[in-house]
Structure 1
Amino acid sequence: MREDVVGFLTGLGVVVPETDAVLDFVIQGVEETIRNDTNQQGIPDGLKPAAVYMAAGQYLLLMKGAGKLEGFDLDAAVKQIQEGDTSVTYAMGEGSQTPEQRMDDLLNWLTGYGREQFSRYRRLVW
């Protein structure tokens, strides 16, 4: 999953170091959250895209909060995101949101992506 998260972040224009303990910790946390919410031993194939988006969003949120998210071009990265039936498009004209607001919207979307799908994969615990 790490390769998928790094590839996604790279596509957004974020440079991820070869070894990044924060990214590894975030990925581990997202995997644990999904396993706990679904009561499964591993991440179901149908939730892997959600796991990638959530991990990328949490990583970006941590880097932004720590002031280490530099050189991130919001105009290029946040114009449109499409996954299946879901599409998020941000206006770029005058009077639209500030780059900070667009970044916050992106982070909220990424970190919450796919949570409604967890119940489809949930197993009951007796």
Structure 2
Amino acid sequence: MAMGAFLVLFTGFALVSGQAASSASNFWTGELTERELNIAIVVEVVWFAHMLGMGAIIFFLGLLAANPARARIGAIAVVAIMGTQFIAGGMASTYGYNGFSGFNIFAALFMLIPLITLIACLSKLNAK
């Protein structure tokens, strides 16, 4: 549930504040034409909207599931969501997508919270 709440808050704020759109050019190499910038903005907004939906699904599954099932669902969700994000980011990098470069507090939070969530879920897999 914590990861779902984090994703909903983080991505919701980025979408509502315009941060997802305004930071789009930072994730791509080189100077972008107006058309390329518009495409980059769409990519970032869709990526954030996708993560918002995934966060809401995780949050509501956490509310509906009991402890052992919640731990299993949480572990599967963390691996599936973070795995697909790494795969998507890696595949996009072949087209010039840089993602976060250097240390970034948002990137650190984006990795730390799912890692803590995964550890918490794995520690409760066999709880009664």
TM exceeding 0.5: no
TM-score by length of 1: 0.32
From the two aligned structures, give the one with the greater strand fraction. 1
The structure with the largest helix share of the pair is 2
> Please, what TM-score do these two structures have when normalized by structure 2?
0.31
